[in-house]
Amino acid sequence: MSARVKTAILISGRGSNMQALVAAAAERDYPAEIVGVVSDRPEAGGLAVAAAHGIATAALPRGDFPSRDAHEAAIDLVLRDWGAEIVCLAGYMRMLSAGFVERRLGRVINIHPSLLPLFKGLDTHSRALEAGVSLHGCTVHFVTAGMDEGPIIGQAAVPVSPSDTPDTLASRVLHAEHQLYGRVLRWVAEGRVTLENGRAVHTGFTADDSAALIAPTPGIDPAHLENLARFTP
């Protein structure tokens, strides 16, 4: 078996997507290995969880550095020390500079809780409810200099129920995020999706892979059925 691709995760908070990636990487024949978790917030709950899994961690608060460049240089040093080839942003709440991103172009991915390009930025679930969409979801994309703007690699759709609140919707989207992220990291680590001329290019796709781009079916909440019924002719 070829060596697994060393992957680091950047977080700022609870780290549930980080945990989903750690769980995915524990699967037999998974092509990526999680070598370390960095947080810009020492209090991030995800750091303790990672450490409990025996994963290297680094807390690098932005306030400890004189500039964004110095902060990113410190992150870069840690990533190099771990030999990280892929970087997954998982609830990392700080914009990375164009320089950082360009040095690792095609090897930094992010998960965002909406079907991009809709609802970039924060508060995606309340904005989706306000807009009255019937489908919401999550996106994993290659990171480029613009916020939530890089080429889309994979998306999972989550039906919106008329009774949803931002919290109920967030929890179903989060469940979809946990399923999608591990699958997308697999594709990136296997080289089955690459960033070429500003697009995510997929090769060697299976029917199973395609299904995952539309909607992860396990764990569907019965409340979804109420919403889907609205579309029954």
106 binds ligand GRF (CB under 6 A): no
Question: Which one of 7, 10, 17, 116 is in contact with ligand GRF (CB under 6 A)?
Answer: 17
DSSP 8-state secondary structure symbol assigned to residue 96: P
Question: Which one of 41, 71, 107, 112 is in contact with ligand GRF (CB under 6 A)?
Answer: 112
State the catalytic residue, choosing from 53, 71, 112, 136.
Answer: 112
141 binds ligand GRF (CB under 6 A): no
The dihedral formed by the CA atoms of 125, 108, 32 and 183, expressed in degrees to the nearest 10: 30
Distance separating alpha carbons of residues 39 and 89, to the nearest angstrom = 10
Distance separating alpha carbons of residues 67 and 159, to the nearest angstrom = 42
Tokens of 161: 């129920």
Distance separating alpha carbons of residues 158 and 113, to the nearest angstrom = 11
- Shortest spacing between CB 179 and ligand GRF, in angstroms: 13
- Shortest spacing between CB 209 and ligand GRF, in angstroms: 21
Is the Cβ of residue 18 or residue 143 nearer to ligand GRF in the bound state?
A: 18
Residues numbered 69 to 98 that lie near ligand GRF (CB under 6 A) are 90-91
15 binds ligand GRF (CB under 6 A): yes
Tokens of 223: 């409340």
159 binds ligand GRF (CB under 6 A): no
- By the 8 A CB rule, do 172 and 136 touch? no
Is the Cβ of residue 43 or residue 69 nearer to ligand GRF in the bound state?
A: 43
DSSP 8-state secondary structure symbol assigned to residue 136: E
202 catalytic per annotation:
no
Task: Tell me the catalytic residues.
Answer: 112
